[in-house]
Amino acid sequence: MTQAITIGGDLAVGRLGFGAMRLTGPQVWGEYPDRDGGIAVLREVVAAGVTFIDTADVYGPHTNEILIREALHPYPDDLVIATKGGFVRGGFDYSTLGAVGNPNYLRQSAHMSARRLGVDTIDLYYLHSGRATDAPFEDQVATLAALREEGLIRHIGLSNVTLEQFKAAQAIVDIAAVTAHFNASARTGADLLRAAEECGVVFSPWHPVTLTEGPDTDKVMAVIEPIAAEHGVTSRQIALAWLLHRSPVMLPIPGTTSVAHLKDNLAAAEITLSADEVAAITELATEA
């Protein structure tokens, strides 16, 4: 198992990144209530050797990107920051979340994310949703392709898309990364993982350490807990280690608000699972 992965052919990062979403208010709305604590966590992320941080303009909205800049700017040369655009929030309630694909809105979103992060070029910019209906999906991707040509975006990613949308986007511009739902207990993004592997595209799984999403939670835990006990680690660490063994294009981005939990997550990269252990976990969920 390699300890590095390359995004877009030129951005080498560690196999475990950091998802910053939790460093916001309740329900991903507003400022993170412990600003100093959030800054301390982000600084520890970098001090621990993490070289990939994932955020989005809708986290807060905007507060997550601002916190990252306050904590880490000027950024280390090897730090890659990914952000996303295409979702809007109208309030605290998640029911106000909606997808926007208007090209002018996407252009504005990317420019504003760069301004908040304090960068001239965004390393990796995701279209945050393929669900927007106010503009054709192909036009949304073409907008990001234009921003790449203009130098605002270095690499383009896709989040919340279907396999068909992924293929359509690849026909327009090189896609460097994709995110989808995939963990030890639930794998609705399995088709996108296969497509990412075929194309050499980085795959970041949602909810990477969740073990209770499938219908057979008891079965999942009955397999993973003995493996964790054998290695002297937690079940969550085994879930992360399995992802790293599962595919060479896998880039998990577990998030936390705790330095201790951060260290536990990073330690998962040092766990070596046997082929039988990997197979036992792989067989726990359907990857049709």
pLDDT tens by residue, 239-279: 999 999 999 999 999 999 999 999 999 999 999 999 999 99
Q: CA–CA separation, 99 vs 87, rounded Å?
A: 4
**pLDDT surpassing 70 at residue 50:** yes
Residues designated catalytic: 59
Task: State the residue for tokens 């040092």.
Answer: 270
Whether 274 is covered by a domain: the verdict is no
Q: Is residue 200 part of a domain?
A: yes
- Note whether residue 153 is domain-resident: yes
- The reply to whether the predicted model has a pTM over 0.85 is yes
Closest CA to 105 of 132, 131, 82, 124: 132
Query: pLDDT at position 73, please?
Result: 98
User: Of the candidates 29, 27, 84, 81, which has an alpha carbon nearest to the alpha carbon of residue 56?
Assistant: 84
DSSP 76: P
Q: pLDDT tier at 215 (50, 70, 90 boundaries)?
A: confident
Q: What is the pLDDT of residue 214?
A: 75
Query: 70 in a domain, yes or no?
Result: yes
* Res 2: pLDDT: 67
64-96 pLDDT, tens digit each = 999 999 999 999 999 999 999 999 999 999 999
- Position 118 in a domain: yes
Q: What is the mean pLDDT of the chain?
A: 97
Domain for residue 278, yes or no?
Answer: no
Tokens of 20: 């910053």
The total domain count for the chain is 1
User: Which pLDDT score is estimated for 107?
Assistant: 98
- Please check whether residue 142 is in contact with residue 117, taking contact to mean a CB–CB distance below 8 angstroms: no
Place of tokens 């280690």: 241
Domain that holds residue 57: 4-208+248-254
- Whether the bond between 61 and the residue before it is cis, its omega within 30 degrees of 0, is yes
Residue 19: closest CA among 154, 163, 179, 175? 179
Q: State pLDDT tens for residues 120-176.
A: 999 999 999 999 999 999 999 999 999 999 999 999 999 999 999 999 999 999 999
Find the CATH number of the domain harbouring 59: 3.20.20.100
